[in-house]
């Protein structure tokens, strides 16, 4: 559901900040999935014992850190775009168009 909301935002919004919200919501949905399925899928140890699966949680930790880095870069780009154009509407930012 969160993923669906994120995709909806990504399709309909044109404000760069709202697009960032949408992307982060999608990332959060994916993280939630990873943790949930990680809890549901224990893996078998050497002596047929079921061990808890930490892969999902570890992956999510990396993913959160990566998403934070991505957000920092996007926000820097938004601030620069605003300084140059006084607007952050992605349909109006056409400086890089060929």
Partner 1 sequence: MMVVTVGSAIVALEAKEIIYGAIGFAGSLFGVAALFFLLDAPYVAVFQIAVYIGAVAVLILFTVMLVREEKWAKEPPATSLATIAGALTGLAITVALVVAAFDTNLNQYTTISNSATFVDIGQLISTGDAPVLLVLALVLAASVVGALTLSRADREEPGR
Closest CA relative to residue 93, chosen from 24, 17, 7, 23: 17
Q: Quick one: 62 or 98, whose CB is closer to partner 1?
A: 62
Tell the smallest beta-carbon distance from residue 51 to partner 1 (Å).
8
CB of 17 to partner 1, least distance (A): 6
Q: Which residue ranges make up the site for partner 1 (CB under 8 A)?
A: 1-15, 17-18, 20-22, 24-25, 28, 31-32, 35-42, 50, 52-55, 57-58, 60-62, 64-73, 75-80, 82-84, 86-88
Min dist. Cβ of residue 98 to partner 1 (A): 19
Which CB contacts under 8 angstroms, 24+ apart, belong to 32-41? 32/2, 34/59, 34/60, 34/63, 35/60
d(CA 41, CA 65): 24
């Amino acid at each position: 559901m969160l993923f669906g909301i994120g995709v909806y935002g990504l399709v309909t919004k044109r404000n760069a900040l709202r697009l960032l919200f949408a992307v982060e919501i999608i990332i959060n949905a994916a993280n939630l999935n990873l943790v949930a399925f990680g809890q549901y899928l224990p893996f078998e140890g050497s002596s047929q014992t079921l061990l808890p699966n930490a892969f999902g949680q570890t992956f999510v930790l990396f993913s959160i850190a990566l998403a934070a880095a991505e957000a920092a870069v996007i926000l820097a780009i938004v601030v620069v775009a605003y300084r140059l154009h006084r607007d952050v509407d992605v349909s109006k930012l056409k400086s890089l168009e060929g």
